[in-house]
Chains A and B, each alone.
Chain A
Amino acid sequence: MTDAISHFEQSDEDKERRRQVIEDVLVAFRPQVQEEFRDLIGREVPSPRDALEQLAGTADIDRLLKHRLLIDAFRRTPELERGDLDNPVRDVLDSTMIGDEDARQARVEVAKRVLDQVAAASGDARLQDEHWERWVSGTSALFGFTTHEATFSACDDERMVRKRRRPDGQIVTSRLIVAQFWSDRPPAAFARYINPLNWPACSAFCRGMRPLSPPIELEFGYDCDLEETVRILGRTLTVPLQMAFRNRPDQGRVWTRFNIAPAFFTESVPVNVDTGTVSAEAMPGGPARTLVRATKYLHWNDTQPDFTKLACDFGWSEFMVQMAESCLEGPDTSGTQVAGVGTSVDDAIKRLVDEIATECRDGIGASRPHLEKLIGRFTGPSWDPRWINDLLAIGLLTMDRYGSIASSVRRFADSLQDADDREGR
């Protein structure tokens, strides 16, 4: 299981099954959540062992999500009980590998040893960025992680921020949840997923996006009030949201801003702060060309239990994983190394050469039809002035390539600067 899994074509039943498998793993290893949300879960919570077996047997959950769920689950398991889960853990790891069984078994054992170390590492029981970084560095030779997998970061939901709530405008302390990853794909490649009308197709937790008003088409996007329906555990939550989808003409940033739609807010809406941004943005100086980021500020409407504490693990993180994976259509240029900060000089040189060679090769290939036409017009039986257009088309392609090459050179410069800083330290 390493190919990207398209969830756009999935039926509601398949999405619901996928959602339940993910939820079961999350709940099975969190006794406090089981206790607090017992009435809402509405089904028997499987044992940790069964939850992991289900995860291993579900082919349409991406490797990135499986690994993150597994590390989080294993860290939350008391040390003395981890041995009981060895086999299902191996099954989950095996389900994320390719190759024949003998080769897989050997690699599973190596990965399991790294997992044991990550589970025993210091810090909170929950999966944190440093645990994920340790997992990636320890198993990248086994899995060949892509840029978005290696840089994925989610569930920093400990930050609380003061926001004004609906409808009375009082200041309340809202939970800020952030998930992000870097990608070598351009921001425009994520436009389909950043468009909120596609969120239900993308996420197993987002079940609907119903227009509440006709969309207002703008030159570079649209505004629309939408009713978002999300399913978490046994509860369906609907929130009216004012959505602004934008795609900058220079292709440098694509984003959606959402706020609670005041015209449709009623007391029955379960949250009184729900605002944030989902964006893909070209950002020089980072480990890759594009930062894809989703931030959300949430405040529950004071009734119990408070679902905002589940929002990141139960939905937001999964949504971002789908966005990352589903965008890997076409030739994957992301590679297995993360360029930029933290990359060795040799890797940076290799990457620069690869990127420039690819740009030149693709550029020559793309110019070929124009060049053929251009020569054809000069050698044809009659004079054809459209050679001017062919020449300009070739110029345009060349200029576009220069922009991409400039980005590569900038990243290379950042890598050298970073390597210099590290040597200095």
Chain B
Amino acid sequence: MSDEELVRLRPRDLAAVWSTAFGQLARLWRSGLMAVLEIGSGEDRTILSDECNRITVQRVGGRVPHLIARNLVGQSFGRPLDGGVVTFHVAGSGGPGAVLVDCCVDESLSQGIQGDIYRGEVVDEQGTPITRIALDAGS
């Protein structure tokens, strides 16, 4: 391509190149985020969806903090689930200063939960997040 031809090039002549490039940049950005998530997901460790999740809770002042489940949303149908149906039972010692707690959905506390895996979090009475949970509930 001569200099004369280059000068005659208008943006629209390169539209195919730039529009492809914008798509590629978006994918590049997404892949970059996924790569970071791959590393970051290690902090989340394993959240195995089950009818109960066993979590480790640090004692505060020698006692187990009052636990609350919140922001539970079904991963398939997107319906919210009232955290009040989640029950907590101390299952044993979780090491120095900690206890193991089973959190489960008591289906008798709610009418007609749609069958799904509900993902949300457990917080203490101050609202401090303790861990994330994934509970299989409903039918």
Within 8 A of B (CB), among A376-390: 382-383, 385-386, 388-389
Pair A396/B28 contact, Cβ less than 8 Å: yes
CB closest chain-B residue, reference A256: B76
Interface pick from B56-64, B65-73, B113-121? B113-121
Pair B46/A283 contact, Cβ less than 8 Å: yes
Query: Does A161 sit at the interface, judged by CB under 8 A?
Result: yes
Pair B31/A282 contact, Cβ less than 8 Å: no
Query: Does A146 sit at the interface, judged by CB under 8 A?
Result: no
B-contact bits for A247-286, CB 8 A (1 contact / 0 none): 0001000010111100000000000010111010011111
Query: Does B126 sit at the interface, judged by CB under 8 A?
Result: no
A154 to chain B, nearest CB (A): 16
Within 8 A of A (CB), among B16-43: 17, 20-21, 24-25, 27-28, 31-32, 34-35, 37-39, 41-42
Pair B24/A244 contact, Cβ less than 8 Å: no
A279 to B46 alpha-carbon distance, docked (Å): 15
Which of B35, B44, B138 neighbours the largest number of chain A CB atoms within 10 Å of its CB?
B35
Pair A161/B51 contact, Cβ less than 8 Å: yes
Query: Does B139 sit at the interface, judged by CB under 8 A?
Result: yes
Pair A273/B139 contact, Cβ less than 8 Å: yes
A interface size (C-beta, 8 A)? 51
Pair A410/B38 contact, Cβ less than 8 Å: yes
Query: Does B49 sit at the interface, judged by CB under 8 A?
Result: yes
Query: Does A362 sit at the interface, judged by CB under 8 A?
Result: no
Pair A277/B114 contact, Cβ less than 8 Å: no
A286 to B47 alpha-carbon distance, docked (Å): 11
Pair A395/B76 contact, Cβ less than 8 Å: no
A218 to chain B, nearest CB (A): 10
Chain B interface residue count: which class?
A: 35 or more
B-contact bits for A164-178, CB 8 A (1 contact / 0 none): 111001010010100
Given the known A-B contacts A257-B115, A257-B116, are A399 and B24 also in contact in the complex, defined by CB atoms under 8 Å?
Answer: no
B-contact bits for A100-113, CB 8 A (1 contact / 0 none): 00000000000000
Pair B46/A277 contact, Cβ less than 8 Å: no
Query: Does A297 sit at the interface, judged by CB under 8 A?
Result: yes
Pair B42/A410 contact, Cβ less than 8 Å: yes
A3 to chain B, nearest CB (A): 32
A406 to B33 alpha-carbon distance, docked (Å): 12
Pair A275/B139 contact, Cβ less than 8 Å: yes
Pair A389/B35 contact, Cβ less than 8 Å: no
Query: Does B111 sit at the interface, judged by CB under 8 A?
Result: yes
CB closest chain-A residue, reference B31: A399
Query: Does A195 sit at the interface, judged by CB under 8 A?
Result: no
Query: Does A96 sit at the interface, judged by CB under 8 A?
Result: no
Residues of B within 8 A of A275 (CB): 115, 138-139
Which of B50, B111, B139 neighbours the largest number of chain A CB atoms within 10 Å of its CB?
B139
CB closest chain-B residue, reference A383: B1
Listed A/B pairs (20) with beta-carbon separation below 8 Å: A169-B111, A246-B75, A255-B76, A257-B75, A258-B115, A259-B138, A273-B139, A276-B136, A283-B46, A285-B46, A295-B136, A383-B6, A389-B20, A393-B24, A399-B28, A399-B31, A400-B34, A403-B31, A403-B35, A413-B42
19 more contacts with CB within 8 A, not counting A382-B1, A396-B28, A403-B35, are: A162-B106, A163-B107, A164-B112, A165-B139, A176-B51, A244-B76, A246-B76, A257-B116, A257-B117, A258-B115, A276-B115, A291-B48, A383-B1, A392-B21, A395-B24, A400-B35, A403-B31, A407-B38, A410-B38
